[in-house]
Structure 1
């Protein structure tokens, strides 16, 4: 069966993205050239530029799509109370991406936090979805009586996102080997006194 032009373009694009991930993770962003990526992808340097425009655009695309896949996987997990256990399961999936590609993850921290438009908005939207998912979990926990009705679930979700980035930075700088566990511990500490149930999840 003949491969359509669109299918061929998608396959080439995915090959370039995967080559970029490999090169950035192995050699670092600055040390990797478009020619290096093209060689690993078995395409021309011109093809890389045609699909992505520049090395930086390629970096943003690779980081965004990797993180997007981890987010999708984490956010469709079956609901499995208590609240802390739900949070821990989601956190472990997201952090597993970073830990699979540690060098690339350090680039992600720098580039996603200070990305230019339109990528800045896209990375912010990912964070907003994470915040929204935690807010929804917290609201369900409140309805179950795990969290006090006086707790503002939006602020609680903001606290989670703050702990998430703190743990990610600590891990990237070599200060903590288990970032997901660090988030769990920080959330458990934060949640003390907000409800009758133990929400540490771990």
Structure 2
């Protein structure tokens, strides 16, 4: 067994170490909560699709589905806020206006979800039918935003292109439902949510400042 002794560091050594630490700032992840909210919302909505189908018929199913989709839509609002703060669509007025319009669409879609959850929606009435239409409008708007993020190039690496993958949910799921029917769509819809939006939430949560 050997015993070695190290001399105590000089004050100049301590000063250099402190200087190096100050020169290397800690990495910050300011959008952690927003990203995780999107991931949780996507996962819960996918789970309600599996449990209650894409078009639930029971009252319990309607409430559960509304809860899951509403949580997902709240995650979308969080995502839109991050896109705004990071200039993900660009720095011009058109980009900001597009995000503002999409925020209104998602908010109205949340109103439709709440109406479905509490059981007051009546799609035979024009007003309720119009409110319900904001659901697909908002999802198609997210798809256009995903394309714009990739074109703008403000986000780097996989974060530049994954929004386009995630936000293609509507343009993938709806044609699948029409062409292949509800059985196939029942698999594609939740799987696409997990691969797309749930992963995007993680990428947002781990995005450095």
TM-score (norm 2): 0.28
Bigger radius of gyration = 2
Select the structure with the greater relative contact order (CA < 8 A; seq sep ≥ 6): 2
